[in-house]
A and B are shown apart, each in its own frame.
Chain A
């Protein structure tokens, strides 16, 4: 074989996208998930593909590449695995960012201006009720982002993994990678089923990737950042048409606070439910669901959509996002352990950033020309150095 076999550790959307891109380049992979693929962070995601919440810079570039890539990728998969398996409920629905008061309006409009300069379609709109008939009338400013989109993360991941299998590679559920053997470089991984020889290992363990980096003989300051989502009873189609969120969301994402921060993010799904997010808390892998968080989410959602007042919340669930101190993902080879690669740290943007991440890993690994500049995502960047591994 011209390329080494690669073990991708983690069957979430990022691991699946890496495996998809690698197999597309002819690399033979094995995806090992200690549980079920798409059952952890990916299964808790809302399926956001957002350019709207990103400042111009490397993450925005990655997001735009990904937003372009997702629909093409899914279309290509239709030919390969058939239309039903390739259906991931892709919806180019666009985002609508709303400033509910004057103090939030100016920063929103300024961000939109910076994004426009960077090439993002960011349309300041005065006809918000034309875009969202049920939106609260008291809106100070709103920006429409047609490039924002949504898909169903578990369907999308299963489509990627179906393609991986179709190309003769393997996806193993219930196989935890317990150790990494190496001489001058990685030679195999250890599982409960024995050693699995490979030339490279991709750490796609999401919030648990700090822990895996340690197992593999390196270190990575990725921590879990908890989020909760409220799910309503099914509503009529078109009750909420876009990804609608409060302008303060951008600040919430960018915050490094360990304490609870919440911001309204409201979107419908094809099944009719409306998802109400988002909260961010750094509480380790603590799984409890706090009523005060649910209450805060409900309040903020109602400020945007008063029509939801009488709608039942039927479910709430929590998940962990992989958080890095500088809010940038980690993508590329680990110089400390030759053969170890990372594809992690996307925090709440993993669904959106997955295809470009996978593609970048495959390009770097096979020596192809990278389609985005990989330098900002390097694991040895200064912002990640000297950080203690707090929560692994």
Chain B
């Protein structure tokens, strides 16, 4: 299956988490902190730390380590605090 990562189409496998897809494609970070502007990615890997938050299909604050991808998911870097896209 294919998903979109920051505008680029990439391949993904069934059962993979968003974090696994991103790391499999060489990404180590996909969130920018809201105070220090620092990059963050996976940390606890089991849904506890909320460091790996990412935008999926217009919705921010999705834990990349917990969310399993589906075909066509639109995955975007989360810059600080963001609002959900209108209409989602």
Contacts and interface: CB of A to CB of B under 8 A. Distances in A.
Touch between A and B in complex, CB under 8 Å?
yes
A169 interface: no
B34 A310 contact: no
Main secondary structure of the interface of A (DSSP, over half): loop
Given A239-B83, A310-B84, A310-B88, A233 B61 contact: yes
A369 to B, nearest CB: 47
Contact of B84 (A234, A272, A309): A309
Nearest to A236: B81
Contacts of A309: 84
A383 interface: no
A234 B60 CA distance: 11
Interface string A211-242: 00000000000000000000001111001000
A311 interface: yes
A307 interface: yes
Interface in B31-88: 34, 59, 61, 80-84, 86, 88
B59 A234 contact: no
A307 B86 CA distance: 8
A311 B34 contact: no
A307 B88 CA distance: 10
B41 to A, nearest CB: 18
Contacts of A233: 61, 81
Interface in A310-352: 310-312
Contacts of A312: 61
Given A234-B34, A272-B34, A307 B61 contact: no
Given A233-B61, A234-B34, A272-B34, A311 B80 contact: no
A310 B55 CA distance: 12
Contacts of B34: 234, 272
A312 B61 CA distance: 8
A309 B58 CA distance: 13
B31 to A, nearest CB: 12
A234 B83 contact: no
Contacts of A310: 59, 83-84, 88
Contacts of B61: 233, 311-312
Interface string A269-311: 0001000000000000000000000000000000000010111
Interface of B: 34, 59, 61, 80-84, 86, 88
Interface of A: 233-236, 239, 272, 307, 309-312
5 contacts: A234-B81, A309-B84, A310-B59, A310-B84, A310-B88
